[in-house]
Amino acid sequence: MLFIGSQFSGVLGGAPIAVFSLIYIGIAALYFFPIYYLFQFGQKIKKAVRSTNQNDLEAGFENLKSCFKFLGIFTIVILSLYILMFLVAIVAGAAFG
């Protein structure tokens, strides 16, 4: 049976699998919030359609808005980190190259 991270142990010099497990758990914890917002959106919209309740419909779309807001901010942060890493790589390449 092949576990996640076991195929990388030879490549990364025998790094402990616990490190990879913590990384995967961290990613799952970070991605919990948009998934939860989408779940709440689905529940509220389904309830609103069944009962034709305007308040449930608005609450559902608020959850969808929260999901997209979270993903948008997350995307901006990741793109900023990519740009920062790119600039650091250029400076390091110029300094040591």
State the average pLDDT for the chain.
88
Tally Cβ neighbours within 10 Å of residue 2.
6
Please work out, in degrees rounded to the nearest 5, the angle formed at the alpha carbon of residue 49 by the alpha carbons of 44 and 54: 70
Residue 40 lies in a domain: yes
SS3 label, residue 16 = coil
Q: Give the residue with greater pLDDT, 2 vs 52.
A: 52
The model's confidence at residue 4, banded by pLDDT at 50, 70 and 90, is low
Q: Which of 18-22, 81-85, 90-94 has the lowest mean pLDDT?
A: 18-22
Residue 85 lies in a domain: no
Give pLDDT, residue 19: 85
8 Å CB contact between 41 and 60: yes
Residues 6+ apart with CB under 8 A from 74: 30, 34
Residue 56 lies in a domain: yes
Residue 60 lies in a domain: yes
Residue 65 lies in a domain: yes
- Span 16-40, average pLDDT: 91
43: containing domain: 6-71
Residue 11 lies in a domain: yes
Residue 96 lies in a domain: no
Q: Give the residue with greater pLDDT, 82 vs 7.
A: 82
8 Å CB contact between 2 and 20: no
